[in-house]
Amino acid sequence: MRRPHATDADLTLLWAARFGNSPESKLRGKVVWITGASSGIGEELSYQLAALGARLVLSARRENELERVKRTCLGRFSLKDEDILVLPLDLLDRGSHQEKTAAALKHFGDIDVLINNGGRTQRSLCTEADVDVYQALMELNYLGTVSITKQVLPHMIRRGSGIIATISSVSGFVGVPLATGYAASKHAVQGFFNSLRTELTDYPNITISTICPGPVISSIVQNAFTEELSKPVATAGDQTHKMSTERCVQLTLVGLANRVKEMWIAEQPFLLFCYLWQYSPTLAWYLTNILGKKRVQNFKAGLDADSAYFSKPKVKTT
C-alpha cells in the first residue's frame, strides 16, 4: 500500500484523525450493518471493523461471497461465529427489507450503525445510454438506500441513538462525465440525507454521516453499468493510481468515531476539486470542462476513464 498523504481528506476529517476519538474506542462491541459487504469498500469495512471488535451484519446479494468475508474475519480476528450474521440482501427487493431488518434485530437486539454501501457506478455517454440504465441506478443507489434507512431509522429513534452512514461519492456534489446517471443518483442520496439530518435535530445522538470518496481501488468499476443494462464493462483498466481501499476505510471509520456529518476522502487533485466546487465554482467548471473533455476522449479511445485525466488519447491496440 502506498504511503498515505497528509492531504487526502477534508480538514475536519484530518483533524479528527489526529486529535479526535479513535475508532476502537467508539466502535468496539457495536453492531454494524454493512450493505454491499461482499467486495470492495464494503469488504474492507468488514475487516477493519472486525479488527476493532465490532459485531457485524454482512449483506449483499452473493451469499457465498459474504460467507467468504465472514470466514476471513473469524480467521483473522477475535470474533465468535455469533458475532457475524450473514444476511443476504437485494437492495432492489424493497418488499424484503422489513423482514431483513427484523432478522438483524432478532439476532443482535440492536443496530448501532448502518453503513449504506451497496450500489453500482456507470461508464457510458448520456447520448448512448438507455433510459433503463438511469432507472436502474436510481432504483439501486437511491431508492434501495432510502428503503433500508427507513427500516432502521425507527429503531434508532426509539432508542435515541445510532449512526446512519452512507457511502456516496464526490460525484454526489460535482459533475462527472461518463457517469451522468450515477452522479444523479448520488446527488439524490445526498439531498435525502442532508434533509433527513435536519429533521432529526430533536435526536442529537443520531448521526447522519455521508462519505464522499474520490477514485478508490474497488471492484465497482468492473461492475459498472454501461450504455445497456446487460452489457458488461469491457475492461476496468489500471487502478493503481487510485487511493487504496484500506486508507479510504481507515478515514471513514475515523469519521464515524467522531460523528463527522460529511467526509471528503480523495487524493490530489481530486480533493482540490471538491474545494473548488464549493468555493470557486466558476474556476471549477473551467477546469472540469478541460479535464472532462480529456476523460471522454480517452474513454472513446478505449482507455480507463479514471486513469486518463492527464494522458493523451491513444487508440487502444491489441
Q: Where are the domains of the chain?
A: 11-277
pLDDT at 95: 98
Compute mean pLDDT per 10 residues along the chain, 318 residues long, and list them: 67 96 98 97 98 98 97 96 98 98 98 97 93 97 98 98 97 92 97 98 98 86 84 67 91 98 93 92 90 85 64 46
* CATH classification for the domain delimited by 11-277, as one of 3.40.50.2020, 3.40.50.150, 3.40.50.300, 3.40.50.720: 3.40.50.720
pLDDT at 239: 63
pLDDT at 303: 73
**Which residues are designated catalytic?**
182
Q: What is the pTM of this model?
A: 0.92
pLDDT at 307: 60
pLDDT at 308: 53
| Residue 164 vs residues 117, 136, 154: alpha-carbon distances, Å | 11, 23, 12
State the DSSP H helix or E strand holding residue 199, giving kind and residue range, or none if neither: helix 180-199
pLDDT at 309: 55
Closest CA to 151 of 103, 82, 107, 119: 103
pLDDT at 238: 59
**What is the identity of the amino acid at 225?**
F
Q: How far apart are CA 302 and CA 255, in angstroms?
A: 37
pLDDT at 236: 56
